[in-house]
Amino acid sequence: MAVAGAALLVLGAGVVVGLSFLESRGDPVRLAAEIDQRFRMDEAAEVMPVLLRNNGDLPITVTHLELVAPSVVTAPETSSIIVRPGWTRRVRLSLRPTRCPERGAPSSGPAAAVATVASSEGASRQVRLPAPDPENVLDGVARVDCDVRRILRVADVGFGARWRRAAGDGDPLLRGHLVIARRTAGPPMTVTGARGSTVFTLRASSEPPWRLDADEGRMAIPVEFEATRCDPHALLESKKTYVFSAWAKLPGEKEQHLTLQPEPRLAGRLCQLIADGCRPT
């Protein structure tokens, strides 16, 4: 019969993490888990980094790892993770959709890392490790995700279907519309801003905010794209050339970031805009 105990381990720089000892007929699994507090909220909340520290004297092989919390759950990581004695491994776990309530904030509570640990003889066992989160990173991610989903239940923000080429001061432009389209009857929604990417500048014909009233079904804001970063570093190193941003909010709630990704046809026209606008001089 397994005997479970818990203790606190103080690491360097004053960081305190939970240490779980699950003992069975074999040796105790001296593995600690923690939510990485360096997670940046301006990152796309698609992954949640978890730290695994081996506090034993032998290497530990983890063959299955997932994070479980009241509102946040990750997809399991099933590749082998070897944690050497005294080492800490940072594992990026893919986030599944947050469990959002109809109203209010998502549930808060302690998180756990559920791991399958393999022995050198090939046997494996599952352990459940407390995953401390002193800065409440998980709660922040869950709140933002639920706020964004509430916004997108009311209206969608994206790009229109029709685009045309134009010229501005000799440089090629692509002109069309940023569209706010209501999905369900409900409160007004305000788009407080929009932005291009590393390579593209996105300009609107009117200054934000743009408000879609409760009795409006659709709003189209004239916008134009221009390829304004043609240096090799921007063109070669940009990982989100065709990923754009908008910010929106519902009455009484915080402004949230929305990711705008163009349809393939528009992405192709933007690619041609780079080819035409970034010619060597």
Domains 3-135 and 151-277 share a fold: yes
- pLDDT for 280: 59
The larger pLDDT score, comparing residue 202 to residue 8, is at 202
CATH 1.10.1740 for domain 151-277, yes or no, is no
* 8 Å CB contact between 188 and 211: yes
The CA distance from 71 to 110, in Å, is 10
The yes-or-no verdict on residue 73 having pLDDT over 90 is no
Q: How many CB atoms are located within 10 Å of the residue 157 CB?
A: 22
| CATH number belonging to domain 3-135 | 2.60.40.10
pLDDT tens-digit map of 195-226: 999 999 999 999 999 999 999 999 999 999 99
- Cβ contacts of 249 within 8 Å, gap of 6 or more: 151, 189, 190, 192, 255, 256
Q: Are strands 200-204 and 189-195 parallel, antiparallel or unpaired?
A: unpaired
What is the domain partition of the chain in residue ranges? 3-135, 151-277
Does the bond joining 85 to the residue before it have cis omega, within 30 degrees of 0? Answer: no
* 8 Å CB contact between 37 and 135: yes
Helix (H) / strand (E) containing 81 = strand 81-83
pLDDT tens-digit map of 76-128: 999 999 999 999 999 999 999 889 888 778 887 899 999 999 876 778 899 99
pLDDT tens-digit map of 26-69: 557 899 999 998 876 544 568 899 999 999 999 999 999 999 99
The 8-class DSSP code of residue 95 comes to B
The yes-or-no verdict on residue 4 having pLDDT over 60 is no
Please give the model's pTM, rounded to 2 decimal places. 0.76
Q: Output the six-digit token pair for 198.
A: 């590393």
